[in-house]
Structure 1
C-alpha cells in the first residue's frame, strides 16, 4: 500500500492494512451492502467472526466488489464453542465456506478460555497446522491478556501475529500493549473510537463528546472519531472501526491527511480510565458464553 494508506508488517512478513472495517453487530441481511460500501470507500481489511453470524455477507460483498482476491485482506475469528484441535480445523472449513474463500488472510481465536485453557492450546495448535498448510496466511488471538499470552507461548510454536483487543482513549490497556510489543505481536483495536462507551453504560460520558478529543479535532478540522483513529495509527496499532452509515464509513477512512503532535498524543493517552466495556476475558466460560456456530 502507499504511504498515504499505511499497512503493517506482521511478524511472519505478511503485510496487513493498518486501518480496517469491522462488522460486529452488523445484521446479516445488511452486511453485504455495508461491506460493499466500505470496499468502495477504500477499505481493504475486513474483520468479521464466526460468532457474528455474518461471514456470508462479507464473502458476498467481496465477490461482488470486482476486486481481486489478493486486494482484500480477510480476517475472521473462531468462537470458543469450536475450540479443541479437530473442532478448530472444522471451524476453519465453516468460515472459509461462508466467506467463499480458499485461504483466510488472518485467523484468530476470539477469546481465551481460561477454565479450559487446554482447549485454547489445542485450538491454537490447529491454527498452526492451517498456517503450515497454507490455508491461512497469518494467525493470532483476540482479547488475550498478558498471562494468557504467556500461558499460550509455553506450548505454541508460532508467535501470534495479532492480538485484537478493546483499545480506545478511555481504556487503553497499556500493559497488554506492552506485552504484545514484547512478543512482536501487532495490537489491533476493536471499538477503537470508543463506541462501546456510548451504549454499555460503563462511562458517564462518551469518547465522542470528550472535551479534549473535541478540542483536538477542532484544531485539525476533524471529528473526535477521526482523532482517535489517527491516535491508533500513529502509535503503530491496527484499528477496525465499524458503522452501517455510509457517511460514517467514509469519515472513519478520512484520517490520512493530518498528523497529531506529541502533546496531542499524550493528552489522548491521559484520558485512560481503566474501565473495560467488553466482557472480562478471565470470566469467559463455555457455560456462560458458548453458542453453536452453524455449519452454513
Structure 2
C-alpha cells in the first residue's frame, strides 16, 4: 500500500472526477473514500477515465471505501458494499474499512443516501445492538468472494481492537485513526503496530480539516500550519509546514491521506519525503500533543454539519 494517498472527504462532487484524474496523473495511487463522502460515483468516473487514457492500470491503484454506521447488521453489510462497488464501477475494492465502531439503526439508501447522520428520526440518533464481530464476519464472507482485497478498521480503540482480534478469522490489516500533532495516541499506535496492523492517519493537518465545518475548537487550539515549532522546522528544511506535518507522520511508518483539490498542493503533499526530521525535531513536534480529538462521535449532535 502506498504510504501517501489522497483523502476524498469533502471534495465536492462537481470536481471529484477531475481531481482524481489529476491526482493519478501526478502520481497518486491510493484513493481513500467512503460511502458517507457522497462522491463515489465521481471517484469511479475519474479512475475509469485515467485507465482509459492509459495513465494507469487498475491493478496499480488502491481504492478504498468504508462501511457506514447504518449498515452494521449482517443483513445490511452486503447491501452497503454492493452500493459502493456499483457507484465506483469496479469489480473489487482494495481496502474496505468499518468506518466507525458504532451501529446506527438501519435506514435504506433511498431515505438517506448519500450522506448524513440520519437515523430515521430527524436529528435524533438511534442505535442497533449489533456486536462488531457479527459485522466483521459478514465482511469476511465478502472478502472470501474476492471482492475485498484487504479489510481494515477505522476509529477503533485499543480494547475494541483486542476484542476483535480474538474472534476474527481474517485479521484487520489496517487501522485508520485521527492522528496529528494535537492528537498523537502513541500507546494505541504502539499496540496495533505490535499486533501487525498498519496505521493510516487522517486529518494530519489537525484543525485545518475542520475549519469549513465551523468546528468550535478550531480557533481555540490554533492552526498547526502557524504553530511556531512547525514553522521553524519548515524554514530549516526549506519546505512547507504541511510537508513537515506529513513527514513527521510518514517518517514514523504511518501512512497519510491528505486531502486537496489544488494540483500544486497535490504534488507537494505527495512528494514530501525528500527530507528527514532529526530526532530532536521529532520530539519537538511530539511535545505539541494535547490529546484533542476533533472527530468525536460524542459531539456529532453539536456539530450537525460534521459528516
Are residues 157 and 232 of structure 1, via their aligned partners in 2, closer, same or farther at CA, if it must alter by over 3 Å? same
Q: Which of residues 173, 176, 197 in structure 2 aligns to 1:185? A: 197
Q: Which structure would you say has the larger RCO, counting Cα contacts within 8 Å and 6 or more residues apart?
A: 1
Does structure 1 residue 97 correspond to structure 2 residue 80? no
**Partner residue in 2 for 1:49:** 34
Stretches of structure 1 lacking an aligned partner (at least 5 in a row): 1-15, 290-296
Cα shift at 1:117: 6.0
Shift of the 155–110 alpha-carbon distance from structure 1 to 2, 3 Å rule, reads same
Distance 1:126 1:284 in 2: 29
> Does 2:48 align with 1:63?
yes
In the alignment, what sits opposite 1:129?
141
1:178 positional shift: 2.0
State how far apart, in whole Å, the 2-side matches of 1:260 and 1:213 are.
Answer: 11
Question: For the residues of structure 2 that align with 1:140 and 1:267, how far apart are their CA atoms?
Answer: 31
Given the two structures, how large is their TM-score scaled by the length of structure 2?
A: 0.83
More moved, 260-269 vs 119-128: 119-128
Aligned pairs (5 A) from 1:117-156 = 118-156=130-168
1:19 aligns with 2:36: no
Contact 1:107–1:139 (8 Å) recurs in 2: yes
Deviations 1:146-179 (A, max 9, x none): 1221232232222211111000111111122122
CA distance in 2, matches of 1:284, 1:83: 21
Q: Please, which of 214, 219, 228 is the counterpart of residue 236 of structure 2?
A: 219
Q: State the 1:46 CA deviation.
A: 0.2
**TM-score, normalisation: structure 1:** 0.86
CA distance in 2, matches of 1:104, 1:71: 13
Q: Does 1:196 align with 2:209?
A: yes
Instruction: Give 1:215 shift.
Output: 0.7
Q: Is 2:270 aligned against 1:249?
A: no
Give the conservation status (yes or no) of the 8 Å contact 1:106–1:140: yes
Structure 1 contact 159–183 (Cα < 8 Å) conserved:
no
Q: Is residue 78–residue 108 contact of structure 1 (8 Å, CA) maintained in 2?
A: yes
Distance 1:17 1:117 in 2: 36
Aligned partners of 1:197, 1:205: CA distance in 2, in Å? 12
1:17 aligned counterpart, secondary structure:
coil
Q: 1:133 to 1:113 in 2, by over 3 A?
A: same
Report the number of matched residues.
271
* 1:41-72 Cα distance to aligned partner (Å, 9 max, x none): 11100000000111111111111113210111
* CA–CA separation in structure 2 for the residues paired with 1:170 and 1:201: 15
Q: Which runs of 5+ in 2 are unaligned?
A: 104-126
2:69 is aligned with 1:80: yes
Name the counterpart of 1:230: 247
Q: Counterpart of 1:163?
A: 175
d(CA) in 2 for partners of 1:117 and 1:43?
39
1:128 aligns to what SS in structure 2?
A: helix
